[in-house]
Structure 1
Amino acid sequence: MQNTVMNNVPVTFSRTNPFPAKVLTNVNLNGEGSKKETRHLELSLKGSGLTYAPGDCLGIIPQNDPELVTSLIEEMKWDPETAVTINKLGETLPLREALTTYFEITLLTKKMIQQAAELTDSEALKKLSSEENIHQLKEYIDGRDLLDLLQDFGPWKATAQEIVALLRKMPPRLYSIASSVSAHPEEVHLTIGAVRYTTHGRERKGVCSVLCAERLHEGDTLPVFIQTNKHFNLPDSPEKDIIMVGPGTGIAPFRSFIEERSVIKAPGRSWLFFGDQHASCDFLYQNELEGYQKAGVLTRIETAFSRDSEEKVYVQHKMLEHSKELFEWLENDACFYVCGDKQHMAKDVHDALISVIEKEGQMTREAAEAYVTEMQAQGRYQRDVY
């Protein structure tokens, strides 16, 4: 939370009172032929009083896809201008605005479905929401949204107010900040991968990522706030070496780390492991990173482009390939950072780290695991995974 002054009255911008940040730049980082779309977003914090440290996150309060909102209204034959109560304070909004700006409509919950079962004569929904069918319910929820629910279990005997009463408030989306405020005063940069996929017969879009990719233009504003991250920071001493593993959009906080270390002329060495699909179109921030390497700010860059070879090569394979030097850096008290996919990458990188220590330290698996646990306790192994 930070303060600024408007009309001589101090204003604090926070999660509950986000700052309308103006979009300065919004470009696609992926080249021709890429299967991905990764947006580089530059936002102005001018006049907000907001500041941040490398490793912090930016919260965005997004809006829902207007096409999805229209589909919901048409499905239920609602009047989009009907006033609906949105909270316990009794505040109201026109239905279309409420569904666009206030409510989460792309995720279902067990509680929501159990409450919805009381608003329809559908036996199928009553059966699905019963306690003995909990596994089928979980299966149904996965990858489905409010429109699916309304289409699958009508006819509904519910007003628009009764349906919106089932919904929770739109939660903010958090993104690792991809800039250093020392390098870009009064600005904040983000690296956002557009989420698009097809499931259950419909194309789905990430609420915030596709807003940024498709509907956000230079000059527009986004409601934002700073979320500090006390568990993902540069070492206190700029003399310490850092090892950064950040494939795909996991590069974001490391761009911030590298920019910060460049500005403060940190003497410590830095080693980046970056991976994606193709070197030709998916090497995010390639020119910047190679420039930092030439300038000596980045000591080493190891890249893994999984679709450029017969066998898929990932960042963890590059760690194993350079195990000797990696272990030497760790023995020299280097800090080890991982950012990106929690489900697969972070787990594989964790296992590779233990394997490197086991092999090069000539120790048992248990001893290598204890080494890693000790690194975590010392704050020398930090993860920002999602």
Structure 2
Amino acid sequence: MQLKVTNSPFTEEQAELINRLLPTLTEAQIQWLGGYLTFYRAGSAAVQGEAPVHANNTVGAAPQVLTLVPEIQTPCEATILYGSQTGNAQRLAGRLSDKLKEQGFAVTLSAMNQYKTNNLKKASYLFLLASTHGEGDPPDNALTFYEFLFSKRAPKLGDVKYSVLALGDTSYEFFCKTGQDFDKRLEELGAQRIAARIDCDVDFEESAASWIASVTDAVSASAQAAPASSGSVAVLTASASSEDSSEYSRSNPFHAEVLDNLNLNGRGSDRETRHLELSLEGSGLTYAPGDCVGVYPQNDPSLVEEIIDELKWNSEALLAVGKSGETSSLKDALLHHYEITVLTKPLMEKAVAFSGNSNLADLVKPENKQDLKEYMNGRDLLDLLRDFAPWSLTVGDIPALLRKLPPRLYSIASSYNAHPDEVHLTIRKVQYEAHGRERGGVCSVHASERLQSGDKLPIFIQKNPNFKPPVNPDTPVIMIGPGTGVAPFRAFLEEREELGVEGKSWLFYGDRHFVTDFLYQTDWQRMLKAGVLTNLDVAFSRDTEEKVYVQHRMLENASELYQWLQEGAHVYICGDEKHMAHDVHKALLTIIEQQGAKSPEEAAAYVAELQEQGRYQRDVY
């Protein structure tokens, strides 16, 4: 649209300038300009002796025009806070941040546990992106904010508009609980929901994009309805990651060539742990110690065949996979696109419509919640098909019934500086018997039984800024990583070796047997000899009559370990969340309590302070 001089109050020169400017403006710039002109007119009126209308819509003394302009340079401020182990929520928060910036918001990024909670009630808009960790718990660096929000100190938030994005996994009982808790609590505190909460499963991209669009639309509409407001937007996230500059990502994985695939366990071990070396050549992908690799594995071909045979389907039948409408054979779809080894509550509920067995409908009733949980534990799609026949399923029903095969995340076990254009992974084979059949981990069995040198594996890099070595290379580090939990510490120490770091380092490692299960033993020995690794304490639980674990080695070295803490050491834990991480945390509290002559409450406060300072970091699963 062109402004014509004949039907406007502008001169020809002014009209020409406006016509040159308007086509270049974004929607956000146009909205901002409208607010600016409102304020400019108020300022001009003030100079002429009229009472001005201020940003808070009150009448007051007349300021100069020039003092008004800075007040409306940025109509709204977005504060983005994050906190979790894996990184998906921060990456999504980054997208929301970009959208808000396009609308003229100033954005501040900070960890959730670094957020000054006394600013909470000042926010006009509040957006929470929250992942759920473990058995329904908030992630580590969301804990303090979560506890504050549910405490008596939490303020009334009647002037706050909000929305929540919850991230989770439907294979867990407490799916998206943290996000749901936040949503409910904000409502209890009087905040006004402006966009509905969305609960995302492991395949979250599409749902998250929908939430971001609904939030930006709601904010835009709200800002237009109140152009004179200078409110702030707080975007609170529970995760941590950042986008990579490479063209390859979670939604567009790089097909990395397998350079090597070695079994780290010795002959006679009852365990099998694979060391994978993958090529990144030509990908543009880079990483830092503490980051993860997401692997898209392949389902077990024999399980796929059994499922197809059970339903008497044609393995070459075509079905649509993905949003772009591409087609795949049924066999390839079940191998590469859909999850078939885990039963979830949504899957069980959707399956009722295709089953002629009334027992399934009874099982998913709310009053049978515990029976459903027990049934799903350790069973897969083949069990479901066999236990609740007959079925009216067709090949075309598969995309609606099954969720996409989620990637598996593995801590990177190498330094990029030490191995340019390579990434190393440590993957322990999971295999067990349940309900009369042999079962196995999708990715670990794929890696151990079917992945050969020269094969290609779809991967992406997942950044994790919440599990990083100290910035100061002289800072002491204490690393606790039994079993495959030692993987990221190989990366930490390789990086220190490559950069010539001289700060002290202490590794606690444990497994079952010294002779067969000492992962990366030669690496640690070399690093000890070179001085890269200062202390190494090991615990092999099955080599002694009484089982000894890493937490016992920590307690045996309590005095020195506490001294390291007093010297500013950073503590890192990687591995099993259910047992090891809890036992190590308990041992750490005991050491601080006894060596520091502190009460249990003071020891807990000491550890909380370590977390606040980024000196206590966990990568647990």
* TM-score above 0.5: yes
Distance 1:89 1:122 in 2: 35
Question: Match for 2:530: what amino acid?
Answer: A
1:335 counterpart residue number:
570
The structure whose RCO (Cα within 8 Å, separation 6+) is larger is 1
Alpha-carbon distance, 1:109 to partner: 1.1
Q: Is the 8 A contact 1:24 1:44 kept in 2?
A: yes
2:560 aligned to 315, 322, 325, which one?
Answer: 325
Distance 1:332 1:3, change over 3 A: closer
Matched residue SS, 1:191: strand
1:86 counterpart residue number:
321
Matched residue SS, 1:150: helix
Q: Deviations over 1:67-111 (max 9, x none)?
A: 110010111110001111224543321100100011111111111
Matched residue SS, 1:165: helix
2:54 counterpart residue number:
none
1:70 aligned to 305, 312, 315, which one?
Answer: 305
Matched, 1:264 2:499: yes
Distance 1:57 1:115 in 2: 33
Alpha-carbon distance, 1:180 to partner: 0.2
TM-score (norm 1): 0.96
1:211 counterpart residue number:
446
Question: Match for 2:492: what amino acid?
Answer: F
Distance 1:210 1:32 in 2: 19
Q: Deviations over 1:30-58 (max 9, x none)?
A: 00121110000101101111100000000
Give the stretch that moved more between structures: 271-280 or 114-123.
Answer: 114-123
Q: Deviations over 1:239-279 (max 9, x none)?
A: 00000000000010000000000111112100000000000
Task: Kindly report which structure 2 residues correspond to 1:217-236, keeping only aligned pairs within 5 A, or say none.
Answer: 217-236=452-471
Matched residue SS, 1:175: strand
Question: Match for 1:332: what amino acid?
Answer: E
Matched, 1:144 2:379: yes
Unaligned runs of 5+ in 2: 1-242
TM-score (norm 2): 0.60
Matched residue SS, 2:508: strand
Task: Kindly report which structure 2 residues correspond to 1:95-114, keeping only aligned pairs within 5 A, or say none.
Answer: 95-114=330-349
2:225 counterpart residue number:
none
1:307 counterpart residue number:
542
1:173 aligned to 380, 388, 408, which one?
Answer: 408
1:8 counterpart residue number:
none
Distance 1:88 1:48, change over 3 A: closer
Distance 1:198 1:355, change over 3 A: same
Distance 2:326 2:283 in 1: 27
Give the stretch that moved more between structures: 322-331 or 109-118.
Answer: 109-118
TM superposition outliers: structure 1 runs of 4+ over 6 Å? none
1:284 aligned to 483, 494, 519, which one?
Answer: 519
Distance 2:455 2:322 in 1: 27
Higher Cα radius of gyration: 2
Matched, 1:162 2:379: no
Distance 1:55 1:140, change over 3 A: same
Q: Deviations over 1:318-354 (max 9, x none)?
A: 0000000000000000000000000000000000000
2:265 counterpart residue number:
30
Q: Is the 8 A contact 1:3 1:48 kept in 2?
A: no
RMSD: 1.0
Question: Match for 1:18: what amino acid?
Answer: P
Distance 2:565 2:385 in 1: 54
Q: Which has the higher strand share?
A: 1
Paired residues, number:
379
Question: Match for 1:246: what amino acid?
Answer: G
Matched, 1:55 2:293: no
1:275 counterpart residue number:
510
Matched residue SS, 1:23: strand
2:230 counterpart residue number:
none
Alpha-carbon distance, 1:312 to partner: 0.4
Question: Match for 1:96: what amino acid?
Answer: K
Alpha-carbon distance, 1:160 to partner: 2.2
Question: Match for 2:563: what amino acid?
Answer: E
Distance 1:19 1:92 in 2: 21
| Aligned-residue identity in percent | 58
Distance 2:401 2:615 in 1: 44
Distance 1:369 1:2, change over 3 A: closer
Distance 1:333 1:14 in 2: 36
Question: Match for 2:338: what amino acid?
Answer: F
Distance 1:17 1:162 in 2: 25
